[in-house]
Amino acid sequence: MKLRVALAQINPTVGDLVGNAALITKYTNDAVSASADVIVFPEMVLTGYPVEDLAMRVSFRSASKKALAQLVTALDPAIVSVVGYLDESPNGAPQNRVAVIYGSNVVATYTKRHLPNYGVFDEFRNFVPGDSSLVVRVKGVDIGIAICEDIWHSLADLAARKPGVVLVPNGSPYERNKDDVRLALVQKRAREVGAPLAYVNMIGGQDDLVFDGDTIVVDAQGTVISRAAQFEDQLLVVDIEAGTQSSQPDVVISESGTEAAGTIAPVIAQRLSDDQEIWNALVMGLRDYVAKNKFRSVVVGLSGGIDSALVAAIAVDALGAKCVNGVAMPSKYSSDHSVEDATALAASTGIHFRTVAIEPMVQSFMQSVTLKGVAAENIQARVRGTTLMGISNQEGHLVLATGNKSELAVGYSTLYGDAVGGFAPIKDIYKTDVWALARWRNEQAISRGESAPIPVRSIEKEPSAELRPDQKDSDSLPEYELLDQLLIRYVDGDEGSAALIAAGFDSALVMRVIGLVDKAEYKRRQYPPGTKVSARAFGKDRRLPMTSRWSEA
Amino acid sequence: MKLRVALAQINPTVGDLVGNAALITKYTNDAVSASADVIVFPEMVLTGYPVEDLAMRVSFRSASKKALAQLVTALDPAIVSVVGYLDESPNGAPQNRVAVIYGSNVVATYTKRHLPNYGVFDEFRNFVPGDSSLVVRVKGVDIGIAICEDIWHSLADLAARKPGVVLVPNGSPYERNKDDVRLALVQKRAREVGAPLAYVNMIGGQDDLVFDGDTIVVDAQGTVISRAAQFEDQLLVVDIEAGTQSSQPDVVISESGTEAAGTIAPVIAQRLSDDQEIWNALVMGLRDYVAKNKFRSVVVGLSGGIDSALVAAIAVDALGAKCVNGVAMPSKYSSDHSVEDATALAASTGIHFRTVAIEPMVQSFMQSVTLKGVAAENIQARVRGTTLMGISNQEGHLVLATGNKSELAVGYSTLYGDAVGGFAPIKDIYKTDVWALARWRNEQAISRGESAPIPVRSIEKEPSAELRPDQKDSDSLPEYELLDQLLIRYVDGDEGSAALIAAGFDSALVMRVIGLVDKAEYKRRQYPPGTKVSARAFGKDRRLPMTSRWSEA
């Protein structure tokens, strides 16, 4: 039997029950137009995902249930819709559930059975797991359902029921290289169950997470039948050849039916390159933080350096140059090329640009308070932060913080100075990747016949905070090529000093860097959110005490 | 058989394996001097608690195991010591465990079976649970063990083994009125097991948590035999009358033995008043954050208002007046009484005091950037924040933020302005409680024949941020008496708008306040840590998305 399945790779918004319901209705209508038998939406699409502790509010659960009840009557009764939402167990505990909707009724539900409680996930905190599988018969095809984390565990019990096809709604955040992991997993589960498997994931940004879609359909042997483009809205419609009457279904919607006319040519979107993938993640993460929080524009301090240049370029791709405001804030320690390179960036991207010299404000502080050394350096950064926040308050732009992961790791930033902002687009990008992405973005532009957005000198100059005469990052930090290699292992890999030294790093360097990372936890705690692209981002992915005497250094 | 049990209500530091081991050794020696048969330490005393994601580091687990091995040889071999630490399951997963140490050996271990994963706890993230009970025979008495969360669930399986006494190491953070809940729970479990139960809890501050001790011993009927003072280091030594040979022990240390000579007169420390309890929590939380992070002094901006006055008074009690620096930062909108009241506070408490007028810095910003309305108001707050941070950087003091829970809830604060700081002592205290605590602290002083630390006018004046002429908090917020009642239900109680309106609150007020709370999540995310005293503190107790369209308003 050819079952026509529509997979809605869409961008819901947390808490926007009305907007998400409208999106679900629209895509369901599109699926009906495409003669689909079934449409599957991502995990908790009706509430958005993750809802975090909103799950524990009785009022929010009631609203979700009410929104589902309204949606049921709004959806075309002829198609089977699989819609994720927030519901409750019989004793009133929150559950992560999908409703199978048909004929203006909820004909069955399935509750997520495996709750991730690691990394960025707190689902054991927020939900109570389900305890049973579900098989629903549609046109004779027995459809099994699993939700996201469920497929990271064995589906043996579902396999034993011999479904003809498995549908998997997901809320699976983007990480570098995760698409490869996902594909292998989807293939493994299809083979375990012995049936085609259709995996649908959402797209969009939600605070520090971004969802990349990467919706996949494989046959029972794990061969890819169809795969959606990453980071794009898409209704992926697939004809799946599936066995019939293979199981003992819990619910029968239809014992048989006519196959949809015609054949959908299967689409297998090309994978993005690693750089493009990360770029799209950063662009979507920023765009959605801005849009979903109802900002229209951003402001970023431009130092002439690579970090702020890259952030501005991401913002231009996310929002358009007209919505991006650059501010150069030179001090007496700023090199000539600082303002020149900031000006060049503004010219090449077309963003709004202004210059505010900070010397008068810095001097007024220096005259009122005794400030020397680091205290004097920090004043400059904080005057810049206050200037940006003033412009933000006056004009309504969201301030972007420009710190990268290397700086955040070792605490090479000034609290309430360069660390101010509502969002920090590159906080999960190590400095060496900042350079690589900048080069890549320029090459992309050139290959498309556009002018490169990022001034070459910003990429090539030696990094400096320019808070004192002739200061260089390398005065206080090792070269970034070396530092980043160490940080990847210590921060992302949780390797201890012994392992790092065994891997060939100089022991004094290891001790120094580890000490810096450990001591900077309090700064990271007050840093703005930013898009996670690594397997271990700073933030809820890595929860360490600020007060800790533990040190391997 | 009279078993003499020593309960070590002590203050370990997270990550300080060497220091904690020394503390354990010292208290064990004291217990030996008191002829105790057994000494029990709080949960994970060797590593400190909670270690959060440090549990997931192989190197930290190795260090914990190694520290335990060293401790075993250091402890007096004649006493049975029950010591909490971090260990691993056979397949290398982190576990929250106690070692029963005797004769320079670990003779048994018990692994926590119930892992809290709600509120501030992430133990399902950080540990793998144990799966078996433990009974150890000491001088014929069969000792059962449970760890903290274990006793929040039934001890039926331990009860079935009929231990003669139950020992319970804890890491149970302070919350208002939690002592009553604890006592009832301890009594319930003693009755369930049918044996005396000895509950030992740590004291001390750890980031936003503070532990109050409240070590309790009850007999099999639940009658209190002994109870330690709250918030104090104490070795509580108790003679417990326990049956012998009641169980089938897993390990026999000694089948019989001589009872310790003499009788320890049981101590039941008086409970603190609610105000005193909260005060001690705030004082200990601040003192330990300062000391454990190796600061020696603090600096606080003094507005003449009640919040900063209360924070200064807490700091004086925590650190002594010589370690507290007050800074008045008047602007042209500051009333005459602002500096007068700040000066009076400094005089009554004896703290260091200085005045830095902010007008020159504010003017320098106003001349460089166009700033009107709220943008101009915020500049004043940010100049103050930058001034405090400058003094901190120059002189090494930790900056204290002075925001209260009411302000944090509704977002009535300026990011990078009054919100700057390394620690925020009263962030979990609603404004009405700020006043109550200030009055209580003054009364305490007067009753002791001391001068009241907090100027009466700071308590009695109408609250104002003084960021524009004649500004009052009540211009933009409801009266705090009303606001706080609403916030307690919405923030701490998770009640929805319908419930609040049904409770009698004006619906327009409910909608307005809920809207303010929901919109301020991004500000709270960047706020410094501060001592939790309520059942629902802002921070890891309440994890809500910043990006959310959900509103009941």
> Among B2, B26, B66, B112, which one carries the catalytic annotation?
B112
Q: Which residues of chain A does B370 touch, with a Cβ-Cβ cutoff of 8 Å? A: 394
CA distance A419 to A539: 15
Q: B506: which residues sit within 8 A by CB, 6+ positions away?
A: none
Average pLDDT over residues A2-8: 98
Inter-chain touch B382–A374, beta carbons under 8 Å:
no
Q: What b/e string do you get for B198-230 counting C-beta neighbours within 10 Å, with b at 16 or more?
A: bbbbbbbbbbbbbbbbbbbbbbbebeebbbbbb
CA A526, A527, A532: angle at the middle one, nearest 5?
130
Q: Is some CB atom of chain A closer than 8 A to the CB atom of B92?
A: no
Out of A357, A368, A528, whose CB is closest to B356?
A368
The whole-number pLDDT of residue A239 equals 98
Residues facing A400 on adjacent strands: A423
More confidently predicted of A400 and A466: A400
What is the interface size between A and B, counted as CB pairs within 8 Å? Answer: 247
Angstroms from A17 CA to nearest CA on chain B:
8
User: Are A387 and A394 a contacting pair, CB within 8 Å?
Assistant: no
When pLDDT is cut at 50, 70 and 90, the band that residue A365 belongs to is very high
The whole-number pLDDT of residue A467 equals 85
Angstroms from B511 CA to nearest CA on chain A:
14
Work out the number of other CB atoms within 10 angstroms of the CB of residue B359: 18
Q: What is the pLDDT of residues A518-536, one digit of tens each?
A: 999 999 999 999 999 999 9
Inter-chain touch A550–B14, beta carbons under 8 Å:
yes
The whole-number pLDDT of residue B336 equals 85
Q: Which residues of chain B does A528 touch, with a Cβ-Cβ cutoff of 8 Å? A: 525-526
User: Are A185 and A197 a contacting pair, CB within 8 Å?
Assistant: no
User: Are B253 and B77 a contacting pair, CB within 8 Å?
Assistant: no
Out of A52, A360, A369, whose CB is closest to B367?
A360
Phi, psi of B405 (to 5 degrees): -65, -35
Q: Which residues of chain A does B413 touch, with a Cβ-Cβ cutoff of 8 Å? A: none
CA A376, A379, A381: angle at the middle one, nearest 5?
120
Q: What is the pLDDT of residues A239-264, one digit of tens each?
A: 999 999 999 999 999 999 999 999 99
Residues in chain B, overall count: 553
More confidently predicted of B337 and A54: A54
The whole-number pLDDT of residue B471 equals 86
Q: Which residues of chain A does B205 touch, with a Cβ-Cβ cutoff of 8 Å? A: 547
User: Are A98 and A83 a contacting pair, CB within 8 Å?
Assistant: yes
When pLDDT is cut at 50, 70 and 90, the band that residue B465 belongs to is confident
Is pLDDT above 80 for B553?
no
Inter-chain touch B394–A375, beta carbons under 8 Å:
yes
Q: What b/e string do you get for A142-161 counting C-beta neighbours within 10 Å, with b at 16 or more?
A: bbbbbbbbbbeeebeebbeb
Out of A371, A390, A525, whose CB is closest to B369?
A390
The CA radius of gyration of chain A, in Å to the nearest whole number, is: 26
Q: Which residues of chain A does B367 touch, with a Cβ-Cβ cutoff of 8 Å? A: 360
Angstroms from B210 CA to nearest CA on chain A:
12
Is pLDDT above 80 for A162?
yes
CA distance A205 to A182: 19
The whole-number pLDDT of residue A476 equals 84
Out of B63, B293, B356, whose CB is closest to A547?
B293
Q: Which residues of chain B does A58 touch, with a Cβ-Cβ cutoff of 8 Å? A: 494, 496, 499
CA distance B360 to B357: 7
Average pLDDT over residues A363-367: 97
CA distance B537 to B403: 13
- Segments in A172-226 forming alpha helices (H): 178-193
Nearest chain B residue to A20, by CA: B549
Q: Is some CB atom of chain B closer than 8 A to the CB atom of A92?
A: no
CA distance A200 to A218: 12
CA distance A349 to A453: 5
The whole-number pLDDT of residue B171 equals 98
Q: Which residue has the tokens 């660390």?
A: A419
Angstroms from A108 CA to nearest CA on chain B:
27
Q: Which residues of chain B does A288 touch, with a Cβ-Cβ cutoff of 8 Å? A: 547
Q: Which residue type does B218 have? A: V
Residues facing B212 on adjacent strands: B203
CA distance A150 to A185: 11
Q: Which residues of chain A does B391 touch, with a Cβ-Cβ cutoff of 8 Å? A: 369
Average pLDDT over residues A406-431: 97
When pLDDT is cut at 50, 70 and 90, the band that residue A150 belongs to is very high
User: Are A531 and A210 a contacting pair, CB within 8 Å?
Assistant: yes
Is pLDDT above 80 for A553?
no
Q: Which residues of chain A does B528 touch, with a Cβ-Cβ cutoff of 8 Å? A: 526
CA distance A166 to A477: 52
In this structure, is the dihedral angle defined by the CA atoms of residues B120, B125, B127 and B133, taken in order, positive or negative? positive
Angstroms from B420 CA to nearest CA on chain A:
8
Is pLDDT above 80 for A12?
yes
Q: Model pTM greater than 0.95?
A: yes
Phi-psi region at B349: left, alpha or beta (left = phi > 0; alpha = psi -120 to 50): alpha
The whole-number pLDDT of residue A468 equals 86
Q: Kindly state the DSSP code that residue B384 receives in the 8-state scheme.
A: H
Residues 513-532 of B with CB under 8 A from A: 522, 525-529
Q: Pairing between strand A251-252 and A141-145?
A: unpaired
The whole-number pLDDT of residue A65 equals 98
When pLDDT is cut at 50, 70 and 90, the band that residue A40 belongs to is very high
Out of B59, B360, B390, whose CB is closest to A375?
B390
Interface test with B, best of A327, A384, A547 (most B CBs within 10 A): A547
Q: Is some CB atom of chain A closer than 8 A to the CB atom of B383?
A: yes
The whole-number pLDDT of residue B466 equals 86
B323 as an active site residue: the answer is no
Q: Using CB atoms within 10 Å of the CB of residue A30, give its burial: 0 to 12 exposed, 13 to 18 middle, 19+ buried.
A: middle
The whole-number pLDDT of residue A474 equals 86
Out of A370, A496, A527, whose CB is closest to B57?
A496
Out of B125, B522, B529, whose CB is closest to A546?
B529
Instruction: Give, in order, the Cα–Cα distances in Å from B55 to each of A361, B15, B123.
Output: 46, 10, 10
> Among B123, B139, B148, B292, which one carries the catalytic annotation?
B148
Percent of chain A beyond pLDDT 70?
A: 100
Mean pLDDT of all residues belonging to chain A:
97
Percent of chain A beyond pLDDT 90?
A: 95
Q: What b/e string do you get for A369-380 counting C-beta neighbours within 10 Å, with b at 16 or more?
A: bebeeebbbbbb
Inter-chain touch B522–A422, beta carbons under 8 Å:
yes
Q: Using CB atoms within 10 Å of the CB of residue A76, give its burial: 0 to 12 exposed, 13 to 18 middle, 19+ buried.
A: middle
Residues 273-312 of B with CB under 8 A from A: 288-289, 292-293
Q: Is some CB atom of chain A closer than 8 A to the CB atom of B258?
A: no
Tokens found for residue B133 = 């009970």
CA B218 to chain centre: 25
Angstroms from A431 CA to nearest CA on chain B:
24
Residue A50, SS3 per DSSP? coil
When pLDDT is cut at 50, 70 and 90, the band that residue A466 belongs to is confident
> Among B43, B149, B277, B466, which one carries the catalytic annotation?
B43
**H or E element: which one contains B165?**
strand B165-170
When pLDDT is cut at 50, 70 and 90, the band that residue A473 belongs to is confident
Q: Which residue type does B232 have? A: E
Q: What is the set of active-site residues of A?
A: 43, 112, 148
Nearest chain B residue to A19, by CA: B549
When pLDDT is cut at 50, 70 and 90, the band that residue A170 belongs to is very high
Q: What is the pLDDT of residues B22-61, one digit of tens each?
A: 999 999 999 999 999 999 999 999 999 999 999 999 999 9
Residue A331, SS3 per DSSP? coil
Residue A461, SS3 per DSSP? coil
CA distance B207 to B51: 11
Q: Is some CB atom of chain B closer than 8 A to the CB atom of A502?
A: no
Q: What is the pLDDT of residues B351-363, one digit of tens each?
A: 999 999 999 999 9
CA distance A425 to A118: 23
Residues 429-488 of A with CB under 8 A from B: none
Inter-chain touch B368–A356, beta carbons under 8 Å:
yes
Q: What is the pLDDT of residues A308-363, one digit of tens each?
A: 999 999 999 999 999 999 999 999 998 889 999 999 999 999 999 999 999 999 99
For chain B, give the longest Cα–Cα distance.
Answer: 85
CA distance B183 to B187: 6
Work out the number of other CB atoms within 10 angstroms of the CB of residue B481: 10
Tokens found for residue B325 = 């620096």
Average pLDDT over residues B199-228: 98
Q: Which residues of chain B does A394 touch, with a Cβ-Cβ cutoff of 8 Å? A: 369-372, 375
The whole-number pLDDT of residue B199 equals 98
Inter-chain touch A14–B496, beta carbons under 8 Å:
no
Q: Which residues of chain B does A544 touch, with a Cβ-Cβ cutoff of 8 Å? A: 52-54
Q: What is the pLDDT of residues A95-145, one digit of tens each?
A: 999 999 999 999 999 999 999 999 999 999 999 999 999 999 999 999 999
Nearest chain B residue to A47, by CA: B550
Average pLDDT over residues A534-552: 95
Average pLDDT over residues B216-232: 98
Inter-chain touch B122–A543, beta carbons under 8 Å:
yes
The whole-number pLDDT of residue B469 equals 85
Q: Using CB atoms within 10 Å of the CB of residue B411, give its burial: 0 to 12 exposed, 13 to 18 middle, 19+ buried.
A: middle
Phi, psi of B510 (to 5 degrees): -55, -50
